[in-house]
């Protein structure tokens, strides 16, 4: 048995992709499998936290002992997360939320024609940025960043702009890291420090992220 260092804490984790409907049979989405977010939820539960997991559509079963809320679109994820957030001590946003959605969802299936098809996209709200702006002083807010280049500068920019305590920067170009694999290689960027982690299983990565979260909770309790 590991440490029960999150006992008494309420932790909200997001996982998986979102799906943005185009018509009754088609959608825009991404390759997130939910593995990273589910690993975080299970590790936090094992370390004593009361865990709520908001997940987009994934093939993973509900983990034992965790309150799971299943959503489909970015709008549904925003409603669930922003509704739960005020009661949480820790929020970790590992979901790959779609940045854009079709401007309208056609009620009938779009027919194939000889011409191409132009899709108008509009921006989804940035849930993490909204959480950052409403963050209470005792809350620890952790974001993820999936980057293919300029990892550290992009991570530092998102940390600052979204008012986060920690950002987990993911290199998504390696074959063993990022979307839909069992392992991950991340760099943890805080306000004062940068911790590159080696290639690890997503379970081990989750525990290393939670180690930082426990330290941050301790620092906030002293202030
Ligand atoms: O699910 P797996 O297959 O295990 O893969 C894990 C992962 C690669 C999806 C995960 O480790 C990861 O990197 N998740 C973040 C993916 C992402 O959307 O990154 P981003 O740089 O586009 O977004 C930055 C942050 O803003 C993220 O915390 C994201 O949840 C959040 N965001 C983004 C857009 C939006 N509209 N609302 C948000 O809250």
ipTM of predicted assembly, 2 dp: 0.98
Reported as a single tens digit per residue, the pLDDT across 13-39 is 999 999 999 999 999 999 999 999 999
Reported as a single tens digit per residue, the pLDDT across 158-173 is 999 999 999 999 988 8
Reported as a single tens digit per residue, the pLDDT across 189-208 is 999 999 999 999 999 999 99
Q: Is the CB of 41 under 6 A from ligand 1?
A: no
Q: Is the CB of 179 under 6 A from ligand 1?
A: yes
Q: Which is more confidently placed, 21 or 223?
A: 21
Whether pTM exceeds 0.90 = yes
Domains of the chain: 10-99+121-222 (3.40.50.10300)
What pairing do the DSSP bridges indicate for beta strands 194-196 and 186-190?
A: antiparallel
Reported as a single tens digit per residue, the pLDDT across 48-79 is 999 999 999 999 999 999 999 999 999 999 99
Pocket perturbation via mutation, ligand 1, pick of 145, 147, 153, 189 by most ligand atoms within 8 A of CB: 145
Confidence of residue 87 (pLDDT cuts 50, 70, 90): very high
Determine the pLDDT at residue 2: 77
Catalytic residue status for 114: no
Task: Tell me the C-alpha distance between 129 and 26, whole Å.
Answer: 28
């Amino acid at each position: 048995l590991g440490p029960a260092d999150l006992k008494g804490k309420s932790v909200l984790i997001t996982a998986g992709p979102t799906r943005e409907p185009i018509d009754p049979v088609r959608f825009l989405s991404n390759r997130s499998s939910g593995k990273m977010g589910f690993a975080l939820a299970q590790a936090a539960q094992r370390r004593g936290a009361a865990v709520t997991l908001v997940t987009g559509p994934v093939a993973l079963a509900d983990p034992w002992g965790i309150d799971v809320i299943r959503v489909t679109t970015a709008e549904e994820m925003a409603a669930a997360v922003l509704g739960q957030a005020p009661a949480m001590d820790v929020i970790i946003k590992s979901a790959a939320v779609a940045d854009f959605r079709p401007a309208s969802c056609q009620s009938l299936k779009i027919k194939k024609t000889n011409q191409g098809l132009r899709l108008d996209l509009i921006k989804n709200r940035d849930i993490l940025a909204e959480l950052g702006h409403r963050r209470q002083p005792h809350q620890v807010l952790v974001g993820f960043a999936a980057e293919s280049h300029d990892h550290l500068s992009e991570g530092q920019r998102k940390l600052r702009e979204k008012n986060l305590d920690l950002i987990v920067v993911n290199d998504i170009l390696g074959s063993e890291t990022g979307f839909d694999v069992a392992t991950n290689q991340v760099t943890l960027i805080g306000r004062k420090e940068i911790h590159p982690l080696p290639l690890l299983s997503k379970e081990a990565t989750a525990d290393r992220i939670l180690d930082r979260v426990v330290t941050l909770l301790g620092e906030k309790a002293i202030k």
